[in-house]
Structure 1
Amino acid sequence: MTSNPVLVGDGHLPLRDVVAAELRRLILDGSLRPGERLVEDRLAQQLGVSRNPIREAMRVLEAEGFLDVVSRRGAFVAKLSARQADDLFHVRLALEPLGARLAASVEEPETAALERAWEILELVRDSGPGQDLDVLSTLHTELHSLIFEMTRNDYLIAIAIPMVKRGQWLLRQSAPLQDPAAWTEHHGLIEAIAAGDADLAEAAARHHVLSVRSTLRPRLDPAD
């Protein structure tokens, strides 16, 4: 499936961030395919901006792992191999249980973040099967980002949010996010954080990561 890029030159956010968000969306929905070379002039024309914000946005996406920049060859949409996916899950197993524990341990919980987390889960539940995969993957990324933001640990947030976005790409390609059952484990995780039960939150996060990994592994080509 392909989608037409939108003109982003009139956005109100910093232009680099607007362009990065649009390029990220095009990568996530498959309009820009793994291994495809990105041409600055062409993207600038498509998105209605100059080359500078395109170049700055590419640096952002390279840092997030969405692009591979090769000297004298240019920027290419990264390919996520089975080995890289496994590496990503090793990092998730280290960071997500820690994030859940710290989020549950804060003295004054982030009420607004918790409310938004429940709102996301209700949106997914009420929508039923077959909801747009782009919407679901965005909500999934927001939910996991909220958990890290609830830790109030700037160092962890800086490390974890790019990992969450990278994970969105993998989930968008391979995981059954359109299946409501894929979201059920999040309820227990958010409940544990809301209750301030750090041990239970940590265990729920670890179980969730292991469950997703076991679901994804058969879908990945071991030869990649």
Structure 2
Amino acid sequence: MTESVSPLPERGPTGRRTAKGSLAGKSANRVERPAPLRQVVYDALAELIINRTLEPGQHLVEADLAEYLGVSRQPVREALQRLQSEGWVDLRPAQGAFVHLPTDEEADQLLGVRAVLETHSARLAAACATDEDIKRLWELQDVGMKALAADDSERLVAANADLHAYITELTGNAVLSELIGLVDRRVRWYYTPIARPRGRDAWQEHAALIEAIAAHNVEKAEKIMAQHTERTRQAFHERPDAPE
């Protein structure tokens, strides 16, 4: 799905956000066909969760989500079941479906694995990057800096993901790319609430990383990426809405 979705700001009488109240009156965001409907609906709901349009803890109502996406309830139900099996959604007996509330332990596990993979990725990229590769890295850096100047959280998250993905692509290691791809969506989910407060420091670190890769300094690239991913992990724990 390529279309952007509108925020869901309204809350129910208990203070819990609901899909129905916030989707009412909005223009339809119909999913595209003829892609397999269950996959399209799954991708649409996953993206709404990742970009936090559907926030952690939010109650998910099948009928309202189906109306919003312009589909029947069956593919929505199937998507929610799949999202539950992958840890994005909690299905509670007699209560319904809710966006999963990530724990600090889950964040540490994921971001720790990400740090190991990305640090190795930076080392390999520094060993083999060409002048053309470096040019592309600076182009991606520029996209991120423009998003930072515009204070655009969604663009910052996307630009961050694109830059890291390209560094992995430079390694030519298909297994490494596959493993990092498996955690990419969840990393974006954790990164969204800290993209703006982390922004300027993160993109300064990106610039230093690109310089190390351009110099083919594998030890320095590895060290910068290790520090970069650790600071992101710390920032997640220090975010304003973090539990005390």
| TM-score, reference length from structure 1 | 0.76
Equivalent position of 1:134 in the other structure: 154
Structure 2 CA distance, aligned partners of 1:109 and 1:49? 47
Query: Are positions 1:23 and 2:29 aligned together?
Result: no
Query: Are positions 1:47 and 2:69 aligned together?
Result: yes
Equivalent position of 2:230 in the other structure: 210
| Amino acid aligned to 2:8 | T
| Structure 2 unaligned spans of 5+ | 1-6, 10-25
Structure 2 CA distance, aligned partners of 1:131 and 1:164? 22
Which shows bigger deviation, 145-154 or 171-180? 171-180
Which shows bigger deviation, 135-144 or 30-39? 30-39
| Amino acid aligned to 2:66 | A
Structure 1 CA distance, aligned partners of 2:91 and 2:178? 22
- Higher RCO (CA 8 Å, separation ≥ 6 residues): 1
Map Cα deviations across residues 70-120 of structure 1 (whole Å, 9 max, x no partner): 6897653221122222222321222210121122234x65946x5443222
Give the 3-state SS of the residue equivalent to 2:52 in structure 1.
Answer: coil
Distance 1:72 1:189, change over 3 A: farther
Rg comparison, structure with higher value? 2
Give the 3-state SS of the residue equivalent to 2:29 in structure 1.
Answer: coil
Q: Percent identity?
A: 35
CA shift, 1:186, in A, is: 0.6
State the Cα RMSD in Å.
3.4
Map Cα deviations across residues 37-64 of structure 1 (whole Å, 9 max, x no partner): 4444543332123556546655775576
Equivalent position of 1:161 in the other structure: 181
The 5-angstrom pairing of residues 130-209 of structure 1 reads: 130-176=150-196, 179-209=199-229
Distance 1:127 1:87, change over 3 A: closer
Equivalent position of 2:30 in the other structure: 7
| Structure 1 unaligned spans of 5+ | none
May I ask how many residue pairs the two structures share in their alignment? 220
